[in-house]
Structure 1
Amino acid sequence: MDANHVISLNIVTPDGQVYSQDVKRIIARATDGDLGILPNHFPIIATLKIAEVRTLRADDVNREDAIAVNGGYIEFKDNVANIVANSAELAANIDLRRARYAKQRAEAHIKQAVAKNDPDYRRRAEVALARAVNRIHVYNDR
């Protein structure tokens, strides 16, 4: 495949590589808005929100991959994209029951934090809720 028409995408976390694929398109949510990256895009570094990353695979243009990415950053240069994330999970690997339980637990923790007037605990619970909701969304959107 012509290197000028594909992007080599790697997603890594502290636990190791989660995704490595040649893709035709990357859609990610940066902290300042959505990014759409096609081959030969200008170089960019951006911080990522807790959100879904979608790719259009180069080996099968009818196949999109969805990855739940929980923060981190994306770097793109010379048709190579690297996402370094706090955690990431392919839609096919998401345990929906576990994600729903995490959502319920986070919602309960938010209520506790509000009752105790503990803004730090509330913020951590809100991040946990966002991660769980992201995983559920990616699972349902696959």
Structure 2
Amino acid sequence: MSNSLDASRIAEIQAFDAEKRYKYLVKEVVANRQIWILTDEHGCVMLNTEDEDCVPVWPNQEFAEAWATGEWEHCKAEAISINKWHSRWTAGLEDDELAIVIFPNQEEDGLVVYPDELDDELKQQARKQQR
């Protein structure tokens, strides 16, 4: 389980640029063995770019919950184990032709990656942490 993040650390991490937030997410997801999404009564929250339908993901519960405001305030943060992510979500997102938006900030800014790219990054990070 993750350690609770204090407000100053949350603010510091949210100020990272999209690339740095991606690196942070990969490390946290592997370390904590879970990735966070937002859900509502229809399932997982989706965002749209000009080119892609995306599932937003966060590294920690605090960031997912911080995003659940305004039109998303009815959503709840849900953890997905890294094993379930690898075994079900990656293939499911690919089958549905969905991309992933990595750790979007309050301006909805985040890197858009394909499920296999994130899967590869997570597996590479897991190998690094096992050394």
Assess same fold via TM > 0.5.
no
**Bigger radius of gyration among the two:** 1
| Structure (1 or 2) with the greater strand fraction | 1
Q: Point out which structure has higher relative CO (alpha carbons under 8 A, 6+ apart).
A: 2
Normalised TM-score (structure 2) = 0.31
| Structure (1 or 2) with the greater helix fraction | 2
Normalised TM-score (structure 1) = 0.30
